Every structure is written in C-alpha cells, then in structure tokens.
A and B are shown apart, each in its own frame.
Chain A
Amino acid sequence: MLLEYFQMVDRIEAIDPAADTIRTVCNVPMQSPVFMGHFPGFPRLPGALMIETMAQTGGWLVLARLKFVKMPFLTRVESAKLRRFVEPGEILNGEATLVHDGSGFAVIEAVISSGGQKVASAEIRYVVGPFPNDTIRGAMLFKAREIGFPADCLPEVRPPEDRPPEDRPHAE
C-alpha cells in the first residue's frame, strides 16, 4: 500500500472472469504519515482506507471486465462492517465478487481478511463511465501491469503495422 497516494492494492492474486471474482494482496506498511495522525501512539489503518481497499479491489475487477474501455467511480457503500483494527505490517487479502453488471453501473461485494479472518466487508456500488482523459487511463494501465494484471484482462496491444498511420511509432 502507498497510503499517501491512495494506492491500496499491491498485487492481483487472481481474476476469474467466469466467476466474476478477484483476489488481491494489500500490504499495510509499517510506517506512514497517515499513522502519525491515526493515531499518535496507537497506529491503526483508518476505517475509511479499509473501505477504500475494498473499493479498489472491486474496482480492478470492473476494469478487468471492461478491459479498460471505461472506469468505475465509487458512488455508494452499503452495509460496511469494520470488524477489528488493522495494524501496521498486516497483510490483507482482498476478495470481491460482481453482484450486478448494470448499464452504466456495477455492484460488488467485497471482503478483506487478515490471517484467514474477515476484518471488513461491504457492498460497493460504482458508476461506470469514460476515462476523463488519456493521462488517467495510461496511469491506471501502468499500475495494472505493475500489480500483475493478467494479460487477457488488459486491452489488446495492436502491433504497430496494424495501427492507423497517426498511431504508429515514428522512427528517430
């Protein structure tokens, strides 16, 4: 996790397109400025970031299903349960399942566990729409590859010769 950058997922463990499920690994850092305030002398992962971890786990699943044609934006958190504190250094396992693939929206159920025990759960809803710009899309694709997105969940990369002339790399 890079808490200060709101990047909660370190690795994609598995994506099962047929079952519409995803598993992630999210390593809570030993140190972070976030812990200095939350709380002094009692560092704990904020509940809001446990929800964000679930939202991002589900969000990556939505991106995988859409192959990065559109992106999910968090709109609603239902029935969130934060069962216990999470301490620095814990390894969280995220799981999300697509509950409903709506037109322009998606609903997932997510759980995060530590040491085999459930520490939080929620139903997460997203509106699904176009990427605001190429910068964010490019950054998310880069991150996806960095955290181990399966190749078949990424958009196809057409070889240069198949691209329109304006999209082909130019010789130096």
Chain B
Amino acid sequence: MASTFDQVADIIADTCDIDRDKITPESHAINDLGIDSLDFLDIAFAIDKAFGIKMPLEQWTQEVNDGKVSTEEYFVLGNLCRHIDLLREAKAA
C-alpha cells in the first residue's frame, strides 16, 4: 500500500502537472513547487476524497496569518502528510 506521501505526491503531480521526480517530502508546495491558491484547493479536494478527511485549511491559514506557525508547518509536504495521518487517526478513533 502506497505511503501517505506517495499518494499526496501523485495527487500533486497529476493535479498540477508537475514532474513527480521533483516532489519530495522536503518540497514546499508554494515556494518550491509553485502551487497557487487555486491549485491548492484542487489538491485539497483530491486529498480529502482520497483519505476520507476534511483538511481544516481555514484553521491552518489562520494559524499562519496569526504567526502561531510558519507556512512550513502545513505546506512542506512531509509535514502536510503528518497532519493528514493525524486526521485519519482522529477519524478512525
């Protein structure tokens, strides 16, 4: 079974037409991969569907805007995948 990262990377590659080899756990979705806000919504939809979750994007955005966390917390793919796994665990509990 593919890892969370592999599934997310495949979604990003497919949704945004980005070379799969360029997508790594250290990649920043915006700064490194050039994903804009509209593309990120498409990615979010695909991730929500694939994993059966609802990523709290508005809450995450507010935390970044309030200075509580940096953008890396949610937009570096390794970190994003960690949060996805937490959401999946919470849903399963």
* Chain B associates with chain A: yes
Q: Name A's B-contacting residues (CB within 8 A).
A: 75-76, 100-105, 107, 125, 127
Given contacts A100-B48, A127-B38, 7 further A-B contacts (CB under 8 A): A75-B38, A102-B48, A102-B54, A102-B55, A105-B41, A105-B44, A107-B45
- CB contacts between A and B, total, < 8 Å: 36
Size of the chain B interface, CB-CB below 8 angstroms:
14
User: Secondary structure of the B side of the interface?
Assistant: helix
Contact between chains at B56 and A103 (CB < 8 Å): yes
Residues of A close to B41: CB separation below 8 A = 75, 102, 104-105, 125, 127
Residues of B close to A102: CB separation below 8 A = 41, 44-45, 48, 54-55, 57
Q: Measured between alpha carbons, how far is A127 from B40 in the docked complex, in Å?
A: 11
Q: Name B's A-contacting residues (CB within 8 A).
A: 38, 41-42, 44-45, 48-49, 54-59, 61
Nearest residue (CB) in B for A128 is: B58
Q: Measured between alpha carbons, how far is A104 from B45 in the docked complex, in Å?
A: 11
CB distance from A70 to the nearest CB of B (A): 10
Q: Among A100, A102, A125, A127, which residue has the most Cβ atoms of chain B within 10 A?
A: A102
